[in-house]
A and B are shown apart, each in its own frame.
Chain A
Amino acid sequence: MRIIVIGAGEVGYNISDILSKEGSDVVIIDRNEERLKNVSENIDVQTLHGSGSSPEILKKARLDQSDMIVAVTDSDETNIVACLLAAVQSRSILKIARIRNPDLNRDSKIFDRNHLGIDLCINPEREAVANIINLMEYPGASEIIDFAEGRIKLAAFFVDGRCEAVGKELRDVKNVCGTADFLIASITRNTEPIVPTGKTIIRENDYLFVLSESKNVRNILQFFGKDVAPPQRVFIMGGGSTALMLSEILEKKGVLLKIIEKRQDRCDTLASMLDKAVILHGDGTSQDLLKEENIQEADYFIAVTNDEEANILGSLLAKQLGAKKAISLINRVDYTHLVPYVGIDGVMNPRQSTIGKILHFIRKGKILSATPLRDEKAEAVEFIALETSEITNRPLKEIRFPKGAIVGTILRNDEVIIPWGNSVILPGDRVILFALRSAIPQVQKFLTVKLDYFG
């Protein structure tokens, strides 16, 4: 597959890296030569210097021979124009654009096939807000990812010492837990992911990925000693568009909100848009202000300013002052994997959400969704099993899976099955599979070879 990526920022860089490693030919366009230099030094792609909305440059990038264009510059307009130019060149090319302006996004009809013809619009902030809301429903988890339209959830969390499961082999854990069925799909220990077997022993500070039916998630978190009460009081640091989007949703849920924003005019806007939330004019990293507003009573402190270092510091300060949990908005992948270790409970990463969404879209057809997990070292893949596929109609233990891959859940009609060695995948089942990044190309081959034959 030949793909043109416009914008060599964090999202463009990471998408190109992943796609190139998976075997696509990537051309990346940016106006900043420094960034391009960084790209060409680290990943095997072609770089082009120029504007992504220039027909000349797109021609140079051989738009006519490309299968997809991914426009992820900071400018919505550039992204839209690039997709329009691509549409003029060829009807069949897939077009993905990052559109951040919430006003543009609200009326998504204009982007459909009959108008602008953009196949996928992504608003990173919206994706991230959805993530956070999900996370807040299950306060014990550090990450929550939906599968099968939310019927299956993947919860990720650290194991603390007081949990019963510590020191036990995985196959014994279920007996202790009782009825709720779940699968521990992956364990990150000392930043390295491991694919667990029945004999793997759970240790303190392991970072577990647990898959289960949505209704059981609370019980499972409770079993692992996690707090599951929904939040009552929430502090939000920063009053940008992300904060506003988040506040609107939380307000509807009846959560008591306090929003801290530095700029007076933005405070006024917020006050006019929100009815119940307390708008505070000041600095979110000021101890006095936080104490004065009873930070120790807060269930959540969510830092969503544009300054990610300030978000991290603000979250740490709030936790130190007594806030129960803290979530930070962090865009740099470099920081993301550090966060759980310094004491921040969750990360919202709009860029990573964007990457996840794009990958999901790219793999559509063969694979329903793919979500990069922490550090991007592992991925969860959702697909529909086919009649002709090697994995159907045979007990799982007889299937030779690529190394580093494990079947997490099977969804048959409305029944959720947590598989074990004798389980059989039937054609038409939706399967969620976990794989380390290194195993992804093999997994894809494994799944698609038969599919091509089928189609």
Chain B
Amino acid sequence: MKAGKILSILGAFLFFIGLLMILPLSWSLFCGDPDVEAFGIAILAVCAFGGILYFVTRSAEEITLSHREGFLIVAAAWFLAAAAGSLPYMIAGVLPGFTDAFFESASGFTTTGATVLTGLDGMPHGILLWRSMTQWLGGMGIIILSIAILPLLGVGGMQLYKAEMPSPVKDKLTPRITETARTLWIVYVILSTAEFILLLFGGLEPFEALCHTFTTMATGGFSTHDASVAYFQSPYVQTVITLFMIVAGVNFTLHHSLLLGDFKTVLRNSELRFYLGVLLAGTLLVTYDLWHTVFDRILVSFRYAAFQVVSITTTTGFVTDNYERWPGLSRFLLLLLFFVGGSAGSTGGSIKCLRILLILKHSAVELYRLVHPHAVTAVKLGKQIVAPETMASVWGFFILYLGLTVTATVLLLLLGLDPLTSFSATASTIANVGPAFGLANPSSTYAGFPCPAKWILSFCMIAGRLEIYTIMVLLTPEFWKK
């Protein structure tokens, strides 16, 4: 691994992150908010640091990256992005401590939506916009955005793309990685625009509509109000957001096919069917559970159930009601759905429907083999046989995912938190959901967590967003051997 090459890419990347802060800065200037200065200083600091790093370490050589360098760059880029993104919070004085600011920023970029902030309704708009924007950028992937925009990453882009989008089945939409990245982002922007317009129709202020669009399409979950989406008290807004959370949890290559008019591929996709099936089953069960216990009317139960099930499954984390006061079955199902997630190649986090589907299919195949010991068996996805290596990598991911959840839970318990809080907060941050149970229930925040716990959870968010492998591989001694 060559340090110069890695540092120069990271330098360029940081510079780019700094430039992205110009949008909230201009919003603040436009509104005359007091946080103009904070953004000005943050942009200067980040751009200067990144720029100097780039110019000191750059070389004229063409950049090609090995696997290892790809992992290292992507992991480092995410931690750096979170650190750079925390500057406005600290300088503006919203969150003076680095721990809190880093937690908030990591929660933003990883589209988790766990917050330590209260009093959102009175925050300067620049800060609120930056919060939502980090989610939108992190949703489709900041590395993928850099590949799409920075010419620097043309050849080395593939290694980075794989490290940020480690889905079990890789689709390259176009011959060139930069083209693929650009296509994904264009689809993302088109869908976001659609939601933005629909939310405006619902009577939202343009600023609110923009922020909520950002955090819905990214399956992030930050809101501009402490009460989250519940604040709007509008069935229309709830429905629009529910629909777009579902959309954001679908593989973006399918959206691309749909935009090109290829309906066949979309309808035949078995992951999509499974994903919608999970959402429907969860919604129906929770509706049944809420009816007569929390809400009297079945349609209201259905609306609240659908919103919450979709919000948790797609790992968005919006709330319209404090689900902790819901009956046991609902609470259990929601906790379980922390471990499902959106489709592979979507903006959703967690284990992802594709992996769950493959694991279920694999188990079914094992049972079938017991009945017919000589049968030719294979896990199939559509008409394609899933390679045994892919299956092994899915299982490996599953075990690592659970392993990380257990480890982090134990660490939080050691810090003196109660079991429900520890487990649900860990599961929620690794899955990039946001709200959890116990201390971190929807009507509360993570502010009350001890400092080390916030760092552990920040780590969980980034590890979860990069699908475990990319971060975990850095922790193996093998990675660092020459």
List A residues at the B interface (Cβ < 8 Å). 2, 20-21, 25-27, 33, 40-41, 44-47, 438
List, in ascending order, chain B residues with CB within 8 A of A33's CB: 387
17 contacts between A and B (CB under 8 A): A2-B175, A20-B175, A20-B176, A25-B174, A25-B176, A25-B179, A27-B175, A33-B387, A40-B172, A41-B67, A44-B154, A44-B157, A44-B176, A45-B175, A46-B172, A46-B174, A438-B62
Q: Does B144 contact A (CB under 8 A)?
A: no
Greatest chain B CB density within 10 A among A20, A27, A41, A46 is at A46
Q: Does B155 contact A (CB under 8 A)?
A: yes
List, in ascending order, chain B residues with CB within 8 A of A25's CB: 174-176, 179
Q: Which B residues, 119 to 154, have Cβ-Cβ distances below 8 Å to chain A? A: 154
Q: Which B residues, 151 to 171, have Cβ-Cβ distances below 8 Å to chain A? A: 154-155, 157-158, 170
List, in ascending order, chain A residues with CB within 8 A of B312's CB: none
Task: Judge whether A44 and B158 touch: CB under 8 Å.
Answer: yes
Known contacts A40-B158, A40-B172; 5 further A-B pairs (Cβ under 8 A): A40-B170, A44-B157, A44-B176, A46-B174, A438-B62
Q: How far is the CA of A26 from the CA of B177 in the complex (A)?
A: 11
List, in ascending order, chain A residues with CB within 8 A of B177's CB: 44
8 residue pairs, one from A and one from B, having the closest CB atoms: A25-B175, A46-B175, A46-B172, A44-B177, A26-B175, A45-B175, A27-B175, A44-B176
Task: Judge whether B158 and A41 touch: CB under 8 Å.
Answer: yes
List, in ascending order, chain A residues with CB within 8 A of B179's CB: 25
Q: How far is the CA of A386 from the CA of B230 in the complex (A)?
A: 72
Smallest Cβ-Cβ distance to B158: which chain A residue: A44
What does the 1/0 interface line of B65-94 toward A look like (CB < 8 Å)?
001000000000000000000000000000
Nearest CB in chain A: distance from B36 CB, A: 41
List, in ascending order, chain B residues with CB within 8 A of A438's CB: 62
List, in ascending order, chain A residues with CB within 8 A of B158's CB: 40-41, 44
List, in ascending order, chain A residues with CB within 8 A of B155's CB: 21, 44
What does the 1/0 interface line of B177-198 toward A look like (CB < 8 Å)?
1010000000000000000000
List, in ascending order, chain B residues with CB within 8 A of A2's CB: 175
Q: How far is the CA of A45 from the CA of B154 in the complex (A)?
A: 11
Nearest CB in chain B: distance from A350 CB, A: 27
Smallest Cβ-Cβ distance to A2: which chain B residue: B175
Smallest Cβ-Cβ distance to A27: which chain B residue: B175
Nearest CB in chain A: distance from B338 CB, A: 33
List, in ascending order, chain A residues with CB within 8 A of B170's CB: 40
Smallest Cβ-Cβ distance to B174: which chain A residue: A46
What does the 1/0 interface line of B293-306 toward A look like (CB < 8 Å)?
00000000000000
Q: How far is the CA of A47 from the CA of B173 in the complex (A)?
A: 10
List, in ascending order, chain B residues with CB within 8 A of A40's CB: 158, 170, 172
Nearest CB in chain B: distance from A4 CB, A: 10
Nearest CB in chain B: distance from A54 CB, A: 14
Nearest CB in chain B: distance from A119 CB, A: 22
Q: How far is the CA of A45 from the CA of B178 in the complex (A)?
A: 11
List, in ascending order, chain A residues with CB within 8 A of B67's CB: 41
Q: Which B residues, 172 to 230, have Cβ-Cβ distances below 8 Å to chain A? A: 172-177, 179
Nearest CB in chain B: distance from A442 CB, A: 13
Q: How far is the CA of A20 from the CA of B158 in the complex (A)?
A: 13
Smallest Cβ-Cβ distance to B384: which chain A residue: A49
List, in ascending order, chain B residues with CB within 8 A of A41's CB: 67, 158
Q: How far is the CA of A46 from the CA of B171 in the complex (A)?
A: 9
Q: How far is the CA of A190 from the CA of B157 in the complex (A)?
A: 31
Smallest Cβ-Cβ distance to B157: which chain A residue: A44
Q: How far is the CA of A45 from the CA of B177 in the complex (A)?
A: 8
Given A40-B158, A41-B158, A438-B62, A47 contacting B387 (CB threshold 8 A): no
List, in ascending order, chain A residues with CB within 8 A of B154's CB: 44
Nearest CB in chain B: distance from A123 CB, A: 28
What does the 1/0 interface line of B82-124 toward A look like (CB < 8 Å)?
0000000000000000000000000000000000000000000
Smallest Cβ-Cβ distance to A26: which chain B residue: B175
Nearest CB in chain A: distance from B64 CB, A: 9
List, in ascending order, chain B residues with CB within 8 A of A21's CB: 155
Nearest CB in chain A: distance from B54 CB, A: 21
Smallest Cβ-Cβ distance to B170: which chain A residue: A40
List, in ascending order, chain B residues with CB within 8 A of A47's CB: 172
List, in ascending order, chain A residues with CB within 8 A of B176's CB: 20, 25, 44-46
Greatest chain A CB density within 10 A among B154, B172, B175 is at B175
Nearest CB in chain A: distance from B202 CB, A: 40
Nearest CB in chain A: distance from B362 CB, A: 19
Smallest Cβ-Cβ distance to A49: which chain B residue: B384
Smallest Cβ-Cβ distance to B180: which chain A residue: A46
Smallest Cβ-Cβ distance to B177: which chain A residue: A44
List, in ascending order, chain B residues with CB within 8 A of A27's CB: 175
Nearest CB in chain B: distance from A275 CB, A: 52
Greatest chain A CB density within 10 A among B155, B173, B176 is at B176
List, in ascending order, chain A residues with CB within 8 A of B172's CB: 40, 46-47
Nearest CB in chain A: distance from B65 CB, A: 11
Q: How far is the CA of A438 from the CA of B62 in the complex (A)?
A: 9
Smallest Cβ-Cβ distance to B159: which chain A residue: A41
Q: How far is the CA of A115 from the CA of B172 in the complex (A)?
A: 36
Nearest CB in chain A: distance from B179 CB, A: 8
Smallest Cβ-Cβ distance to A4: which chain B residue: B175
Q: How far is the CA of A308 from the CA of B175 in the complex (A)?
A: 33
Nearest CB in chain B: distance from A424 CB, A: 32
Nearest CB in chain B: distance from A223 CB, A: 37
List, in ascending order, chain A residues with CB within 8 A of B174's CB: 25, 46
Nearest CB in chain A: distance from B184 CB, A: 14
Q: How far is the CA of A2 from the CA of B174 in the complex (A)?
A: 11
Nearest CB in chain B: distance from A43 CB, A: 8
Q: How far is the CA of A135 from the CA of B237 in the complex (A)?
A: 78
Smallest Cβ-Cβ distance to A47: which chain B residue: B172
Q: How far is the CA of A40 from the CA of B169 in the complex (A)?
A: 13
List, in ascending order, chain B residues with CB within 8 A of A26's CB: 175
Q: How far is the CA of A45 from the CA of B179 in the complex (A)?
A: 11
Smallest Cβ-Cβ distance to A3: which chain B residue: B175
Q: How far is the CA of A47 from the CA of B172 in the complex (A)?
A: 8
Nearest CB in chain A: distance from B450 CB, A: 43
Q: How far is the CA of A45 from the CA of B155 in the complex (A)?
A: 10
List, in ascending order, chain A residues with CB within 8 A of B387's CB: 33
Q: How far is the CA of A45 from the CA of B172 in the complex (A)?
A: 9
Q: How far is the CA of A46 from the CA of B174 in the complex (A)?
A: 6
Q: How far is the CA of A20 from the CA of B174 in the complex (A)?
A: 13
Q: How far is the CA of A372 from the CA of B62 in the complex (A)?
A: 20
Q: How far is the CA of A430 from the CA of B168 in the complex (A)?
A: 53
Q: How far is the CA of A25 from the CA of B180 in the complex (A)?
A: 12
Q: Which B residues, 30 to 77, have Cβ-Cβ distances below 8 Å to chain A? A: 62, 67
List, in ascending order, chain A residues with CB within 8 A of B157's CB: 44
Q: How far is the CA of A4 from the CA of B154 in the complex (A)?
A: 20
Q: How far is the CA of A47 from the CA of B180 in the complex (A)?
A: 13
Q: How far is the CA of A33 from the CA of B175 in the complex (A)?
A: 17
Q: How far is the CA of A21 from the CA of B158 in the complex (A)?
A: 14
Q: Which B residues, 368 to 410, have Cβ-Cβ distances below 8 Å to chain A? A: 387
Q: How far is the CA of A47 from the CA of B170 in the complex (A)?
A: 10
Q: How far is the CA of A41 from the CA of B176 in the complex (A)?
A: 13
Nearest CB in chain A: distance from B229 CB, A: 40
Greatest chain A CB density within 10 A among B67, B174, B179 is at B174
Nearest CB in chain A: distance from B349 CB, A: 25
